[in-house]
A and B are shown apart, each in its own frame.
Chain A
Amino acid sequence: MEVDGRIDLSNRSGDETHAAGETSRETSNFFGGPLRSLWEFAGGVNLAERPRGLAAEREAPPGPDPSLLDTATDGLLARRASDGDEHAFETLLRRHLSLMTAYATRLTASRADASDAVQEASIAIWRELPTLTAPDAVRGWMMKIVSRKAFDLIRSRKPTADVDDDAVVAQLPVTDAGDPARLAVSADAMSGLRRALDALPALQRQAWILREVGGESYGEIAEHLGITTTAARGQLARARENLTREMEAWR
């Protein structure tokens, strides 16, 4: 086929260096974290040697070199996924799956429910990615969908949602991996916090996790818990009192 004869190649390249959708908003919550506005990939990957698509593969182009996506930023994966790239979505999901599961487990107090909630959340994330306005903050956005799906599940299971608290405690042992020097100082506090959180009534525990880990607003917490905003503030206030009182004992 004649490439030159068929197309008029316009030359817009290089002129537009504005980053598309690169608004990085600082968030104070745990999931927001420091935002990486640049993405990185491993050197030495010879992209030129990747096989070209064959006619037989027309309906399902092969996925990209995994190392290309594995080292891409969340923001780039989110934008590719919202453009329909399933491989980018799977990479994004795998990257944050254990945190999504941990969050859902703390909220539902059930490992099995957490797995179901995260599954529903994953589909909702795929579905709603095209509406995401700040791709670089995708992790926090994903976690909000996880909490939404966790409470959908809790509501559908009432009133037995809290029965297997003990099972969760058993399944989430304190792991002593990490910096030994830091652990010497904080291990007692961490296991103390675990015990204190597990001892809190469900609403207080959920309000605390949603607020302090998920960075959700009073209004969002109230909606999740099915109570008024004033009542949500009350639950959070009691959680703060209980946890700070416990904390005094660890100092």
Chain B
Amino acid sequence: MEITINQKPFKLPQGASINEAIEAFGAQPPFAIALNLTFVHRQRYGETFLSQGDALEIVQPVAGG
């Protein structure tokens, strides 16, 4: 299946969890995740399974005003 992570296409096995997406992306902590604009608590990464066309956002701390 194909999903997007930070708006870039990624191919993952059907029914992959967020943990697998994190590994495919190579995310470096600290980060937080939203799936289709809904926040996903880090404790739920392993039990949240992705579907074709899902949009994952992985964000990190940056400077802000």
Whether both chains belong to one complex is answered with no
